[in-house]
Structures are given as C-alpha cells and as structure tokens.
Structure 1
Amino acid sequence: MLQTFQIIAVIQGLFLLLYLFKNKNKYQPYNFWFLSALLLSLLFYIVGDDNNNLFLYHYDFFFVDKTLFVTLLFLFLKYFETSKKLNYSIAWYFIPTLIYILIELYETQFIESFWIEVAEHAVYLVCVIYLIFSLIFLKKIKIAKFIKTPFYFLIFSVLITDSLLIVDFLIESDIIVTLNSILIFEISILFYYLTYIFVSDHNFFDLPVTHSKYKNSSLNSKDIDAYKKRIIEAMEVDKLFTNENLSLQSFSETIHIPKHYISEILNIHLATNFQDFINEYRVEEFIKKYSNPENDHYSILGIATSVGFKNKATFNLNFKKFKGISPTEYKQNYLQ
C-alpha cells in the first residue's frame, strides 16, 4: 500500500516541479531555487529510503536523506523575504548533511560503532533546531494561511520523527524503520495536498515574484527598509485601512511615498499586493473588535464597515480568504 502512495506522490511531485520550472521567471531567484530543491529532495526521500526503495531493494539514497530537505526548508523560509544577495556562507548550513553522508559512507564499509551512532543522532538534533527556527520564520512570513499549511505539516511531521529518533537512541529501542515508513507516508500526503490546492487555485505557488518592471529599481536596501517600516506603520499605528475609500493613490499621498515604490515593496518584499495588504489588516482589526465584549451590541456588518469594508459580500470573501472559514464559523470555533 505504501508503494502506491509513493508512486502517486512522485507523479504529483514531478507535476509541481514542472509547473515551477515552466514559470521560473515569475519568482524571486532564491525562492525558486530553494523551493525547487526542497521538492526534489522530498521526491528522492520518498523513493530512496533503504527499507522502502521503489527501484533498488534495500538500497538507501542516503545523500538525499531528511537532513538535506530539512536544511533546504530552513533556508527557504529564512531567506523567503530577503532582497540581499546571498553568498557562499550559506554552505555552512549544509554541514550536518555532509556529516550525515560521511557517516553513511563509513557504515557501508565498517562496523557501526557507538560514537558513530552518537554523531548520527547529533545530526538529528541539529535538524530539530533547524525545524524550530523554521517554525519561527514561517510564523513571521506574511503569506496566506493556506500556503503556510503544508509547510507547518512538513515541519511538525519531521520534528516529531527526529525527536522520536533521538529518544529511540537514548532508550535503545528499535522503531527507526517504522518511523521512516510513517514519514514517507506523511510526505506523500503532503504532495497530495499540494496538488489538490494547486488544482483548486493555480496561484498557490505565486510566492514573491520578480516583476520585470522592477528589475531596474533604484531602491537600495536602506530605502527598502525605511519604506517597508513606514508602510507597515501606516497600517498598524495610523490604521489607514479603516478608510473604505483608501486607494493606492491616496495611500501614496498620505505617507509621501511614490506609488510605484509602494507597489514594489508590497509585491517583492512583502509578498502581497495593495488590496490584499489592506484587507488582511481589516480582517485582523475586525477580529479584535468582534472579540471585545464591549462591541456585542454591534452587528457583524457594523463592525466590518468600521474597519474599512464597504459591504458584506466583500467582507465575507476576504475573511474566508485569510482565515479559511466564515465569520460565523470563526465565532463558533474561537469566541464561544
């Protein structure tokens, strides 16, 4: 049964990779390469585990073990919103993967020793640390909730597995084979989810993109940081989003930043567009007010219009877009 899941997941993974490469020019280079490498390493892991190898019986593709895809996931999330040029120093993050490969090569030639086992589980511990930081990075990234979901799923799946492997070593049990099979199954499910979302919404992989009109941008890193800070401040402090007639033009005039720079900051450095940017703040402000007992005498529509939504239809559409459920369902699930 597991083999069936593996085969279907491989087909779906190749389909997703094909889409990414076909639209390569749309994406930020770092996002494209880290995500592509991550998906590819996950595919190799699905087919290459020694006890579940699809092609060679009892042969382990250890060079693409989970240490590699955990590192790629960590780097993808760490540099998701970066506008700076990366250098070769990121190679240091791959040291745990290199150590793991050397350990596996050693074990193919020599008898496994206690200290080799210690080194191997030390690598698992580093992976756990990478995963914890990945959670922190993911929480800070401003992208739609439904895009974050598969990354949360992957992080928690591997985090639990690696933690159990460390415990397995400490108590000297023998559950590693079972854990690897479970993880392969979970990653296969991840590809099913990704494909389902992609078929439902072709914009799923529309992460921060490199628009051709910004290639010759005159903004330097200092300008980017200053403009980004002012744009966010205009939302979180000045709450300009509460103006239902707020437009890019009026926003530009209010905060004294040219329109094209605002668009560039939002599209490239905050992974969003102007309308989604202000509507997400409106949804969050609605939840704050809706959760406050002092506002119980207001209707849902009354609170929605007070935070900047023009009508009920627009409000419902955006609430479900950013929260995944309707306002009524949100109240039943979280505010009772």
Structure 2
Amino acid sequence: MDDVKVIFDQIPIRHDLASHIMLLGIVQGFFLAFVIFLRAKRKSAINLFGWSLLVQCLVFLDVYLCYTGLMKYIIQFNDSTEFLVLLITPTLYFFLYTLLERKPITFKKFWPHFLLPLFYVVSQFNYHTSPVEVKLNAYLSAYHRSLGFVDVPEGFDYSYHYIKDQFRWLVLFSFAFYLVLSLMLVIKTRKKGWTSSKNIKVDKYIFSRNTVIFFFVLMLTLFIIYLNYDDDGGDHIIGMIQTVTIFFTSFFILSESRFFEKSWIADKYETLANNSIQFETLEHFISESRYYSQQEISLKKVAEQLGTNGNTVSKLINSETGTNFNDYINQKRIALAKERLLDNEFKQLTVEAIGESVGFKSKSAFYNAFKKHTGQSPSAFMKQNRM
C-alpha cells in the first residue's frame, strides 16, 4: 500500500487549454441535458437527445479526470464509463428515429441495441470488482507509464483483457454501424418527402443531417487517433471536438427559442397559452374529416373550427412536423391524390380533375406540389406504380 501512495503522489495534476475546453463542454452539456429533462415530454425525441447528451457528458467527464490526473482521487472509478461509450451512438440513433419516424422507442422492439454495451459490462466484471492496485496500473498504463507500476495480488485473473483489448474496435464498429443506420433513416425520410419550413431556422431534417455528419466526423477522428496513439492519450482531442459540438447544438436550440422573438411577451402569445390545443386534436380533425381537401381551406378557418387562433395552429404544426401550414395541408392532399391516381374508381377522371378533388385550385398548383413532395410528376407516378 505504501507503493500505491508513492505512485499517487507522483501523478501530476494538469490544467491546460485542452482541459479547460473539455470542462466547458461537460458543464454546458450537463446543463443542456438538465433543461431538456425539465421541459421535454418523457417519450419525445428531444428527451432522447437529452439522454444522449447525458451519456456523452459522463464519458467525457471520465476523460477529463484522466487527462488532468484528478482520477487518482477516485481511482476506483477508472474506466467505469467504458460501456457508456458503446451507448453514445445507439442513443443518438434513437433520437433520430423518434424525430423522423414520429414513433416512440420501446425496449421490447429495440432491446438488441443494448446487447453490445451489456456484453461489455459483463465481460469486465472481474475488472470492476478488482483491487485498487489493478485499476491504478490500468490508469498508469494509459497515461503515465514512466511512473512504473505497483504490485497486484498474486494470482489475479486478467482474462477480462481478451475483450478489453478489443474495446477500440468495438467502438469503431458501433460508430460505423449506427452511422449506416442513421444515414438510411435520413435517406428514407428524404424519399418520403423532404420538406422544410421558412418559419423556423433549423428544421428536423437539417438537424438530422447534421447529426449524421457529426457521426462521420467523430468516427473519422476516432480512427485517426487510434492509429496515432497506443493508449488513451488522444482522448482529450475527442473531448475538445465534443465541446465544439455541444456549443453548436446549444446555439441551434437557442436560435429557436421564443426568448429572441421581438414580440415574445406580447398579448398574442399569452393568448396562445390560454387557447392551446393538442396536435392530436388538430391531426384528427384535419384527417378524419378530410378538411384539407377543401379548396377554400385557410389557417384562419381551421383555427375557427378548433376554437383557437391561427398563431396557435401555425406554431403547433411547425413544432410537431417541421413544416408550415401550406406544406402540412399539401402533404395530406398529395397522399390522397396518390391513392386516387391508382384507384380504378377514379380512372375516368383526368389528372387535373383528381388534383381539384383533393383541394388544389389549378393544374399547375397540383403538379408543383406533387413534384415537391414526391420528386416526380403525377403522370410519372402513375406509370411507375400501375401494373
């Protein structure tokens, strides 16, 4: 035990620009996650993003403690967050899935995504229950080999190293796998109809695309660092990249905040709070009654039917779908038009007539909207899908 104390005393405490940058990102990330948990609904996409942020911050807090040498004060927790590294990409993917598919994440359906982290935790049980000498040597091996090592109890079982030595490749596999899944998800959403709203600065598609880019950049960084460092000495570089990412994310979230609206405290927003409705109510009314197929439909008329005001309906559609009112209505019209273009009951109607039957006032309006939301003309759609 005297040897352990001697080594502890020799481990330097390091505070430099890299450590300060990492600490900024960790504190900001924890704060952002706290705000998200406080404000977001439990099963919402943004709540899952909060969990992803929390996982990342716990991992990089470990990196920060190791890099600065502060880990020596809690050496029992060295490498305790390794399994969380294998949860970073799954939680980001869960966020994208919920955001783009508008479906909740359930353990019954998504349990296979937890197998790799669980497998790693089980494989490292012997390490996590090992004496302090083993964990100190693991830390010294990664950051301070020049200080030497301490003696460990005779006969200690190091079989956990068979898996631990492959940890880097497990991380790269996880990043590559979820990069592909996320890319497929974004491409699938694009094919279903990629629309954006001029009323919001950053829509869900842009945010999703940026998340996939982050996946790729981080995976490429990991690969380069793994090629140039034999131990954990390059982890602080990843930590600094994470800090930049967290602050960019904070910027995008703040950009959409009502706090920056010129009239955010005006009476009309107080009215919004008093006349708020659920999106499910709006969706049920629009879809079940096919109110969207009326040519004279307007934001004001929909609001009157629901007993609220236009601002409420507009903001509700923006926040739930990432589109404006016109795109929201046109998407439903196009979906109905696609059914009627292939339905034998409507084969006697011209393409223009079908467009009018779903709510478009002119042929050009129908063609433009159809191509925007499907990527092809009505005629091309019929030719491709009719047997």
TM-score range, shorter chain: 0.5 to 0.7
Please, which of 183, 189, 202 is the counterpart of residue 257 of structure 2?
Answer: 202
By how many angstroms is 1:37 displaced?
0.5
Partners of 1:214 and 1:125 in 2: CA distance: 39
Please, which of 181, 190, 194 is the counterpart of residue 245 of structure 2?
Answer: 190
Q: Name the residue aligned to 1:43.
A: 57
Q: Secondary structure at the match of 2:322?
A: coil
Q: Name the residue aligned to 2:35.
A: 19
| Corresponding letter in the other structure for 1:16 | L
Q: Name the residue aligned to 2:14.
A: none
Please say if 1:147 is aligned against 2:147.
no
Please, which of 241, 266, 278 is the counterpart of residue 213 of structure 1?
Answer: 278
Q: Name the residue aligned to 2:71.
A: 56
Partners of 2:327 and 2:34 in 1: CA distance: 28
| Corresponding letter in the other structure for 1:4 | H
By how many angstroms is 1:2 displaced?
1.6
Partners of 1:203 and 1:93 in 2: CA distance: 36
Partners of 1:227 and 1:107 in 2: CA distance: 62
Quick check: 2:29–2:57 contact (8 Å CA) kept in 1?
A: yes
Please say if 1:124 is aligned against 2:124.
no
Q: Secondary structure at the match of 2:71?
A: coil
By how many angstroms is 1:155 displaced?
0.9
Please, which of 92, 99, 106 is the counterpart of residue 73 of structure 1?
Answer: 92
Partners of 1:98 and 1:68 in 2: CA distance: 10
| Corresponding letter in the other structure for 2:218 | V
| Corresponding letter in the other structure for 1:135 | L
| Corresponding letter in the other structure for 2:173 | L
Partners of 1:156 and 1:41 in 2: CA distance: 19
Please, which of 110, 113, 121 is the counterpart of residue 90 of structure 1?
Answer: 110
Please say if 1:180 is aligned against 2:235.
yes
Q: What 5-or-longer segments of structure 2 have no aligned partner?
A: 1-16, 131-157, 196-202, 260-275, 308-312, 331-363, 366-387
More displaced stretch, 66-75 vs 92-101: 92-101
Quick check: 2:89–2:178 contact (8 Å CA) kept in 1?
A: yes
By how many angstroms is 1:201 displaced?
3.9
Structure having the higher Rg: 2
| Corresponding letter in the other structure for 2:207 | I
Quick check: 2:93–2:182 contact (8 Å CA) kept in 1?
A: yes
Shift of the 115–158 alpha-carbon distance from structure 1 to 2, 3 Å rule, reads same
Query: How many residues matched?
Result: 249
Q: Name the residue aligned to 2:263.
A: none
Partners of 1:113 and 1:193 in 2: CA distance: 37
Partners of 2:289 and 2:232 in 1: CA distance: 51
> What's the TM-score, normalizing by structure 1?
0.56
Q: What 5-or-longer segments of structure 1 have no aligned partner?
A: 205-210, 235-242, 253-257, 280-305, 308-336
Quick check: 1:46–1:188 contact (8 Å CA) kept in 2?
A: no
Partners of 1:162 and 1:94 in 2: CA distance: 22
Quick check: 2:18–2:240 contact (8 Å CA) kept in 1?
A: yes
Partners of 1:187 and 1:88 in 2: CA distance: 31
Q: Name the residue aligned to 1:34.
A: 48
Shift of the 30–145 alpha-carbon distance from structure 1 to 2, 3 Å rule, reads closer
> What's the TM-score, normalizing by structure 2?
0.50
